[in-house]
Amino acid sequence: MKFMLGAYRFLGAKGLRFVLYPIVFFFFAFAPGVRSVSRAYLRRVATFYGKSSPRPRDTFRHIVSFCFSMVEKIAAWSGDIDLDNIRFHDDGVNDLIAGLESGRGAVIICSHMGNAEILRALATHNKTKVTRKFMVTSIVDFSGTAQFNRLIEEISPNSMMNLVSARDIGVDTVLDLQSRLAAGDLLVIAGDRTSATSQGKTETLSFLGETAEFPQGAFILASLMDAPVYFMFGVREDDMDPLSLYDMHVIRARTDFAGSRKERKQKIRSMIEEYIAHLERLCGDHPLQWYNFYDFWRKSNK
């Protein structure tokens, strides 16, 4: 990652993409576990959508695509990505912008599809379609991202100011997050990554034709926030081009948490089902841009 940062500063994104290929090939050759997981995931996508089976080179391209996403994150935090690089759609984005303009905060549930980091980087650099400045607070699991976070902090020292550890959420944290939303800020959390803290707190649902466990945490937190919830996905138009335009999808969740506490459990499950439907669609359109390099289906298949 240090090499990538230095190479990016010297060569830019256009030059760095050529340097990455031999590095990725070396990693690809000596990481059989990653190859196996990638191949199994790509095969699930192909089977689910009735497409041809993935070829061996598709696994290599999957890893290259992931490395390109790292380049994009470096570019975003360096201030080198602008709104001109992003294509918005006629979905929930205007509703989200109107809410932020009026001082209404929102919960964003993102994923490991594409590049969710761009949103936080653009807001930090005050490059948004909202005329007032707002903050983005991200809920993250620091245990798996420590090295990357240190790299981003080196690029943009302010990047770590609004991160909250997923392992340390308690009553005080919830109250603090509620106050941030009341002030018109955004709260961002991923909904597709299980961890040690997710054990026993998952919903088992069908994803790409097989049952998988999705963490409840992001959706439970959303249910406590008394704020609108949106699903957000940012994907490259061209899987294999780090200079490609980004498609930003912003979809307001249909499920809301008004009503009794007894209904909350079913509503949380309904919101996860909504989320999965959008994630499946994007996996079909851009299979090389889902970056969960572990067996996402392993627990439910034991």
> Residue 201 is encoded by which pair of tokens?
């707190």
What is the pLDDT at residue 302? 44
Cα separation, 147 vs 152, in Å, equals 9
19: how many CB neighbours lie within 10 A of its CB?
15
| Average pLDDT of span 183-187 | 94
Which one is predicted more confidently, 42 or 156? 42
Mean pLDDT of the chain: 87
What is the pLDDT at residue 185? 94
pLDDT tens-digit map of 231-240? 999 999 999 9
272: how many CB neighbours lie within 10 A of its CB?
23
Cα separation, 115 vs 70, in Å, equals 9
Domain ranges of the chain: 82-301
pLDDT over threshold 50, residue 128: yes
Amino acid at the residue 282:
L
What is the pLDDT at residue 161? 64
What is the pLDDT at residue 191? 94
The least confident of 94-103, 107-116, 193-202, 289-298 is 193-202
Single out the residue of 136, 191, 135, 186 nearest to residue 166, CA to CA: 191
Cα separation, 205 vs 207, in Å, equals 6
What is the pLDDT at residue 159? 58
Q: Please, where are the H alpha helices in the chain?
A: 2-29, 32-48, 56-77, 93-101, 117-124, 146-155, 171-182, 217-224, 264-285
Q: What percent of the chain has pLDDT over 70?
A: 92
pLDDT tens-digit map of 154-177? 776 665 567 888 887 888 999 999
Cα separation, 36 vs 42, in Å, equals 10
What is the pLDDT at residue 301? 47
Q: Does domain 82-301 have CATH number 1.10.10?
A: no
What is the pLDDT at residue 39? 96
Give the list of residues 6+ apart from residue 180 with CB closer than 8 angstroms, or none: 105, 135, 137, 187
pLDDT over threshold 60, residue 57: yes
What is the pLDDT at residue 145? 65
Contact 253, 246 (CB under 8 A): no
Single out the residue of 60, 57, 71, 58 nearest to residue 25, CA to CA: 60
Q: What is the pTM of this model?
A: 0.91
